[in-house]
Amino acid sequence: MLRIGMLTSGGDCQALNAAMRGVVKAILNNSDEPVEIYGFEDGYKGLIYGHFRMLTGKDFTGILTVGGTILGTSRTPFKTIQDPDENGLDKVAAMKQNYYKLQLDCLVILGGNGTHKTANLLSKEGLNVITLPKTIDNDLWGTDMTFGFQSAVDIATDAIDCIHTTASSHGRVFIVEVMGHKVGWLTLNAGMASGADIILIPEIPYNIDKICKAIDARDERGARFTILAVAEGAISEEDAKLSKKDYKAKLANYKYPSVSYEIAEQIEKKTGREVRVTVPGHMQRGGSPCPYDRVFATRLGAEAGRLILKKQFGYMVGYKNREMVKVPLEDVAGKLKAIDPKSDIIKEAKLVGISFGN
Ligand code: F6P
C-alpha cells in the first residue's frame, strides 16, 4: 500500500487543483501497489489537528479548470510553528504524530515561501516530503516559474487594459496596484503586457520627482494620460534607506491604505493632476487557471508523482531553463527570488521608454 498525504498551504492561487490532479493521476496510473490518498484540510492546520478526508481518483476528476483548492488552505506562519498552540500543543510533534499514525509514505505540500520553510523543517524531522511551487508572486527560489503566476499576470493585465481606455477618455493619471508581496514579478509582467508607462517595483526604489518628470514628459509629447503599474511592495528611495525597524515603525503609523495612495497624493500635490487608484486585489488570485498554468501545474504534479514512485523525497519540483528539476528543500527554504534590476527584461523595458521612477 502506498499512502500519500496532501495539503495546500498559504494564500491560494489558480491551478492548485490542477497540480494535485497531476500528482494523483501520475501515481494512480503508474503505481504497482494500491494507493490511499489523505487530503489534509486547510493547510498545515489539518496535519496538526488531524483533520483530513480520504480521497479517491474521482475527487480529482473535473478539477483541472477549477480555481481555489479542494482541500482549503490557511496561513500557518513558520515564525510560530515551533511555539505551542493556545492549548499547549506542540505543533511540529503533532504533525509528525499524525503522519506516523496514518502510516503515510510521504506528504505532498503545495505552497509558497512560508510553506517551504515548514516543509523543509518536516523533511529535516525525518518525514518524506515533496513540494510544488505555488504562488502568484513567482518569488520562490529554485524555480524560474511558479504556477498561478501566469494566470495572475493575465488578470492584472486585463485590469490595466480596462483602465487604459477610461484613462485616455478622461486624460487622467491612473495607478493600478498589483499584488506580489515583496517582489515585482507580477507588476513588471502585467505592466509590460498592458503598456503601462511607469512601473514601480520593490527591487527598484522610486523617486517621486522622477515619476512626476516622466508624467510631465508624456504630457509634453501630447499624451493625455499616464498609467502607473505599482507593486504593492513598491518603496521610495528614502524609505529604502531606513532600517527595517524604522520602516516598520513608519508602516505602523501609515495613514494610507497602501503605497499607491501615498504616491497618488504626492503626484496630485506636485503636478496638480487628477490621480485615481485602482486595486484589483484578490481578484488576481481567483478564477480559473489560464491554459499555461493548467499545463504547467499538470507537468509539475506529474513530475512529483514520478519522484514519489521512485521514492525520492526532500525536493521541490521546479522548472529551470525550460526543464523540470528537483531542488533540495533546504536550498529553497527561506530564500526569496527577486528581480535583478540589471536583468535583461529591465533593460529592455527601459529601451521601450518605460520609467521605473528612478
Ligand atoms: O502571496 C500571495 C499574495 O497574494 C501576495 O501577493 C499578497 O501580498 C498576499 O498573498 C495577500 O495575502 P492575504 O490573502 O493573506 O491577504
Q: What is the pLDDT of residues 245-297, one digit of tens each?
A: 999 999 999 999 999 999 999 999 999 999 999 999 999 999 999 999 999 99
134 three-state secondary structure: strand
Cα(188) to centroid(ligand 1), Å: 17
Of all atoms in ligand 1, which is nearest to the CA of residue 181?
8
Residue 239 C-alpha to ligand 1 middle, in angstroms?
Answer: 22
Q: Could you tell me where the DSSP H helices lie in 31-67?
A: 44-49
54-89 tens-digit pLDDT: 999 999 999 999 999 999 999 999 999 999 999 999
- For 33, other C-beta atoms within 10 Å of its C-beta total 8
pLDDT at position 117 is 98
- Confirm whether 43 is domain-assigned: yes
Digit-coded pLDDT (tens) for 225-251 = 999 999 999 999 999 999 999 999 999
CA distance 314 to 170: 55
Backbone dihedral region of 344: left (phi > 0), alpha (psi from -120 to 50 degrees) or beta? alpha
Q: Ligand 1: which residue has its CA nearest to atom 15?
A: 11
144: confidence class by pLDDT, cuts 50, 70, 90:
very high
Q: Is 45 in the pocket of ligand 1 (CB under 6 A)?
A: no
Q: Residue 298 — very low, low, confident or very high, per pLDDT cuts 50/70/90? A: very high
- Residues 90 and 179 placed together within one structural domain of the fold: no
184 and 204 co-located in one domain: yes
Mean pLDDT of 320-339: 97
Residue with CA at minimum distance from ligand 1 atom 6: 180
Parent domain of 235: 151-285
Asked whether residue 185 falls in the same domain as residue 317, the answer is no
Looking up residue 56, the CATH number of its domain turns out to be 3.40.50.450
Residues 141 and 155 placed together within one structural domain of the fold: no
How does residue 100 score in pLDDT terms, banded at 50, 70 and 90?
Answer: very high
Q: Does residue 347 form part of some domain?
A: no
Looking at residue 197, its pLDDT comes to: 98
Share of the chain above pLDDT 90, in %: 99
Q: What are phi and psi of 63, to 5 degrees?
A: -115, 5
154-206 residue pLDDT tens: 999 999 999 999 999 998 999 999 999 999 999 999 999 999 999 999 999 99
Asked whether residue 271 falls in the same domain as residue 325, the answer is no
Kindly state if the Cβ of 112 falls inside 6 Å of ligand 1: yes
Q: Please tell me if the CB atom of residue 227 comes closer than 6 angstroms to any atom of ligand 1.
A: no
143/10 same-domain check: yes
276 with 157, same domain? yes
Output the CA 349–ligand 1 centroid distance in Å: 26
Are 53 and 156 within one domain?
A: no
Statement to judge: residues 112 and 176 lie in one domain: no
Locate all alpha helices (DSSP H) within 253-290, ordered by sequence: 259-271
Same domain (yes/no): 8, 144: yes
Smallest Cα–Cα separation from 100: which of 50, 51, 34, 56? 50
| Cβ(181) – ligand 1 distance below 6 Å | yes
% of the chain residues with pLDDT over 70? 100
Residue type, 18: A
Closest CA to 92 of 40, 62, 137, 127: 127
User: Are 273 and 307 part of one and the same domain?
Assistant: no
Residue 346 belongs to a domain: no
Indicate whether 352 belongs to any domain.
no
pLDDT of res. 304:
98
Is 111's C-beta closer than 6 angstroms to any atom of ligand 1?
Answer: no
pLDDT score at 204: 98
Q: Give the pLDDT score at 10.
A: 97
The tally of domains found in the chain comes to 2
Mean pLDDT confidence for 14-24: 98
Q: Is residue 348 part of a domain?
A: no
Do residue 114 and residue 55 come from a single domain? yes
